[in-house]
Structure 1
């Protein structure tokens, strides 16, 4: 879908993992194990497992994810897995600079939204996002039963909150998700850091 460069950006849509919060499976796995070898095994069975996207898609439950991970781990690591499953989100580092940028954009009158591929754990993850109370809306894959880069999830967010896709800039650290936003009619930016994002926004004419 073609977008017009003449349409002013009035809304900025942010990904969560890698943009507002860090998502780092090896880090989480090290927190809940005692050796690098055990951490690598836990990460491979859980966060890097081919089943993890099914959790984000809402296709499997967290209990099912844990059972699938348990099958790939020695029994001695099952307690570590259980603790990790229960508490990993409590250790997600905040990307403070991006959250501060959300605050400045919101104060300047721009719409700020969140669009993430994430599981139902989002209900707890959102409490770690300093800027979440400022968000004007959100959509998460597990609840939508749609995932980025499917253009349908971007349009679902727009339809829910009455947004013109051409007035939106989508920000994500994943190149495929950036491409999906463009297909949906948005402008999009691949996130590499808050300072670079701020420069891009100002280059598009946003004032904040």
Structure 2
């Protein structure tokens, strides 16, 4: 059995927070207006198209403009420009990533995100030690498609059976499993994640 050598983290709600409702509230003073802002931007199906690289940011903004009252357009523009600045590090997972790197593990990020990902990720304490990043919008592939996990392995010369993928989405974990990786469905329990890493790195079964 191959030993674990690499840990691959999702970004949103694993290394950095992503909460569209929270972001919208930061740019409005009224809860109902925040709901309108969220629905026009983060809550639309087009947001997934942005992450997939199918549409660009200008198109996403035009869609949002068409679905929000005119009086809230200034709020929309501020939110659209600045929401990544409100994405906060999850300190425990960042600390774990740094400790893993110091112990000799490869540390990677694989995220369904637009090409603005580094506006979030660059705030992560673990960013300087990350060995590689694969982003859905750049690859025109999205989790849970196993193909995007194969892209990461091919690009960085990783053996899937030596990788653990960590994501807050169970479907995404299943996609990584189909690509031959170990998986961890992250629910906020960093101790459980660290215990699984310790087991796999010693040749045990997770």
Is the pair's TM-score, using the shorter chain for normalization, greater than 0.5? Answer: yes
Q: CA deviation at 1:132?
A: 1.3
Partner of 1:39: 34
Tell me the TM-score normalized by structure 1: 0.94
Q: CA deviation at 1:126?
A: 2.1
Is the 2:144–2:172 contact (alpha carbons within 8 Å) kept by the matching residues of 1? yes
In the alignment, the residues of structure 1 paired with residue 125 and residue 53 of structure 2 have an alpha-carbon distance, to the nearest angstrom, of 25
Task: Determine whether 1:11 maps to 2:9.
Answer: no
Q: Deviations over 1:140-199 (max 9, x none)?
A: 001011100011100000000000000000000001100000000101010012222112
In the alignment, the residues of structure 1 paired with residue 143 and residue 195 of structure 2 have an alpha-carbon distance, to the nearest angstrom, of 25
Q: CA deviation at 1:48?
A: 1.2
What are the residue-to-residue correspondences of 1:1-208 with 2, within 5 Å? 6-193=1-188, 194-205=190-201
Unpaired segments ≥5 residues, structure 1 = 1-5
Name the SS for the 2:122 alignment partner. Answer: helix
Name the SS for the 1:204 alignment partner. Answer: helix
Q: Count residues with an aligned counterpart.
A: 201
Tell me the TM-score normalized by structure 2: 0.95
Q: Deviations over 1:109-145 (max 9, x none)?
A: 0000000000011132221111011011110001011
Q: CA deviation at 1:44?
A: 0.9
After TM superposition, the runs of 4+ consecutive aligned structure 1 residues lying more than 4 A away are: none
Partner of 1:3: none
In the alignment, the residues of structure 1 paired with residue 30 and residue 191 of structure 2 have an alpha-carbon distance, to the nearest angstrom, of 35
Question: After the TM superposition, which of the residue ranges 193-202 and 16-25 deviates more from structure 2?
Answer: 193-202
